[in-house]
């Protein structure tokens, strides 16, 4: 085999591995972004642990066929300039980064994505962007546990103070 074919097979294997291991994969159209803007986007992805890379669509289609489960990565839906943001931990992280970045840079457009093996169109991806991060949800949960406990402590303290006052008045 030629060296070019070997390199393409390696890239297909890399993409297939990412698609299998990733909890989410978001496809974006980056056409119209400057080099500086793309670099800024890559840095934002890196900060949240998201792998972002531009691959040839034909290689992604081959990898998707190998993996299965990625029916929309086909000749009809996967066309044009595409970047692929794959997250291995937080399924919503790439969507959130893209959504925030697109507010300042409207040339960046979400096309589609897969989250935990399920296809999401652009509208559903935008809904995902509004879900709070894991840390925010944990903080809210801890806060909801803390409020009743704090109220209970204040109640016990008030009862103890009232008993002290009653004891002092009797003495």
In the chain, domain spans = 3-131, 133-170
- Length in residues, the chain: 171
pTM of the model: 0.74
- Residues 8-26: pLDDT tens digits? 899 999 999 999 999 999 9
Side-chain-side CA neighbours of residue 94 (13 Å): 29
Please report which confidence band the pLDDT of residue 118 belongs to, taking 50, 70 and 90 as the band edges: confident
Name the more confident of 149 and 88.
Answer: 88
* Calpha distance 66→46 (Å, rounded): 27
User: Contact, 28 vs 98, CB < 8 A?
Assistant: yes
Q: 56, 129, 57: which is closest to 99 by C-alpha?
A: 129
Indicate the burial class of 110 (C-beta count within 10 angstroms; 0-12, 13-18, 19 or more). buried
For 111, the 3-state DSSP assignment is strand
Lowest mean pLDDT among 39-53, 92-106, 109-123, 154-168: 154-168
State the pLDDT at residue 171: 60
User: Contact, 94 vs 23, CB < 8 A?
Assistant: no
Token pair 């040339």 in the structure block, residue: 107
The CATH architecture to which 3-131 belongs is: 2-Layer Sandwich (3.30)
């Amino acid at each position: 085999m030629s060296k070019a074919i070997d390199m393409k097979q390696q890239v297909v294997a890399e993409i297939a591995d990412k698609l299998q291991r990733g909890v989410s994969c978001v496809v974006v159209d980056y056409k119209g972004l400057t080099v500086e803007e793309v670099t800024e986007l890559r840095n934002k992805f890196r900060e949240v642990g998201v792998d972002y890379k531009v691959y040839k669509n034909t290689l992604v289609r081959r990898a998707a066929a190998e993996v299965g489960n990625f029916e929309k990565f086909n000749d009809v839906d996967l066309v044009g300039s595409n970047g692929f943001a794959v997250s291995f931990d937080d399924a919503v992280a790439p969507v959130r980064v893209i959504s925030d970045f697109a507010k300042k840079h409207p040339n960046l457009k979400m096309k589609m994505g897969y989250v935990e093996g399920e296809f999401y169109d652009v509208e559903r991806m935008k809904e995902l962007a509004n879900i709070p991060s894991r840390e925010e949800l944990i903080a809210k949960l801890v806060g909801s546990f803390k409020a009743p406990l704090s109220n209970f402590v204040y109640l016990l303290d008030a009862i103890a103070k009232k008993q002290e006052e009653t004891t002092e008045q009797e003495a």
